[in-house]
Amino acid sequence: MAGIYIHIPFCRHKCSYCDFASFPDKIDYAEAYMACLYKELKMRGEELKGYTFDTVYFGGGTPSYIPPKLIAGAMKQVRKCFTLAKDAEITLELNPGTIGDTKVKVYKEAGINRFSIGLQTAIDEQLEDLGRIHNARDYVYATKLLTGENFSTDVMLGLKGQTKEDIRKTIELAHLCGSKHISMYALTVEDGTPIYTDYLNGELPDSDEVAEFYEYGYSLLKEKGYERYEISNFALPGYESKHNLNYWRRGEYIGVGLAASSFMCGKRFTNTFNLDEYMKCIISGFYSAITCDDVNENQAKFEFIMLGLRTKYGVSVKEYKAKFGTELGEDFPVAFKKSLQYFQLNGDNIRIKDEYMYVQNSILMPFLEELPEEETE
């Protein structure tokens, strides 16, 4: 399986917690940027002729902020330059404050068949605190436009003043509006973002409270029929995100656009975060990758374990042996023994027990510590 990620770095307003490659004041660059992006798609398409891609994902930034014809144009270029599977999953991230019926029509005609909506919270004061441009009513309106479509909703935990009741309202709203998939994740506070001051002032819920919110949200989602298939991702049966599953299965993907990351042919590489540099490189016929690392055998083993254990599918010991020619338990004897109490073993399959999923990072730490040092550069 392989995926294509396309980054659209424009937003109407910078959110107070945002550390992503996104610009609130550069929409005038959108056409020129997309012309470069079409060119990069062509360059990558020529290199990847033998591949069939199963997913396309427009992320950002706010892909729904730029004129929809530019998204349609990108899809046209993708089809021209790459081979897509017949049932390819094509997702577009959408901000509820930037959507209307004409846009939805253009997206559907372009073949977008999945939408990911950034609701974050159904409480308007919290949305305002986050610097989001939408309110809960905008979300309801957006979901009405998407009636019958496959869409996912983002829900955020750890907001200033947030209570369990707020989380209940948010999850219920997403459910009632027809969300087939919910991503529920904790706010990450990055140094240098405006929300960092709230964090320093102790105004945000601490990690114990967030863990409690998570368990509460998880129980509500379970009640409503959403199954957890990854630590932060919950889906009604059959609505798991294929694009993200490909990441967690160590599938290959090509990232196109500013700051986009790729994993192809055993290498992980990332494009520049500088908009001018990105455009100059592409115009001159070069890629803008600023990092490119070979993934060595030991790193690949760790990635296989770490990514697989994030999901409900876990890892297969047989598959590990088939891929690497060695035994998982022998490669990581100390970590394996330490973590055994947290694992559920089923035939050749290992997964983290349900009750320990939230603390998986600490369970995985011993595996990272056991990676031979000389090969982790």
Q: Note the residues at the interface with ligand SF4 (CB under 6 A).
A: 11, 14-15, 18, 20, 22, 60-62, 95
**At closest approach, how far in Å is the CB of 199 from ligand SF4?**
16
User: Residue 62 or residue 183: which is nearer to ligand SF4 going by CB?
Assistant: 62
Q: How far apart are CA 213 and CA 219, in angstroms?
A: 10
User: Residue 20 or residue 358: which is nearer to ligand SF4 going by CB?
Assistant: 20
Any residues with CB less than 8 A from the CB of 97 and at least 6 apart, and which? 12, 132, 133, 134, 138
- In the chain, the amino acid numbered 19 is D
Residue recorded with tokens 């073993």: 345
Q: Tell me the C-alpha to C-alpha distance, in Å, between residue 81 and each of 41, 47, 69, 88, 282.
A: 7, 10, 18, 15, 16
User: Residue 62 or residue 311: which is nearer to ligand SF4 going by CB?
Assistant: 62
DSSP H helices, 53-100, are 68-81
- Angle at Cα 21 formed by Cα 151 and Cα 54, nearest 5°? 45
User: Residue 17 or residue 263: which is nearer to ligand SF4 going by CB?
Assistant: 17
Task: Yes or no: say if 236 and 226 are a contact pair by the CB < 8 Å rule.
Answer: yes
**At closest approach, how far in Å is the CB of 11 from ligand SF4?**
3
**At closest approach, how far in Å is the CB of 16 from ligand SF4?**
9
Write out the two tokens for 13.
């307003």
User: Residue 19 or residue 252: which is nearer to ligand SF4 going by CB?
Assistant: 19
Residues in the chain: 377
Q: How far apart are CA 131 and CA 307, in angstroms?
A: 32
**At closest approach, how far in Å is the CB of 255 from ligand SF4?**
16
User: Residue 20 or residue 185: which is nearer to ligand SF4 going by CB?
Assistant: 20
Q: How far apart are CA 79 and CA 225, in angstroms?
A: 35
Write out the two tokens for 194.
């405006």
Task: Yes or no: say if 243 and 57 are a contact pair by the CB < 8 Å rule.
Answer: yes
**At closest approach, how far in Å is the CB of 187 from ligand SF4?**
11
**At closest approach, how far in Å is the CB of 14 from ligand SF4?**
5
User: Residue 139 or residue 342: which is nearer to ligand SF4 going by CB?
Assistant: 139
User: Residue 61 or residue 217: which is nearer to ligand SF4 going by CB?
Assistant: 61
**At closest approach, how far in Å is the CB of 29 from ligand SF4?**
15
Task: Yes or no: say if 58 and 74 are a contact pair by the CB < 8 Å rule.
Answer: yes
Of the candidates 297, 302, 296, 334, the one whose C-alpha atom is nearest the C-alpha of residue 315 is 302
**At closest approach, how far in Å is the CB of 7 from ligand SF4?**
10
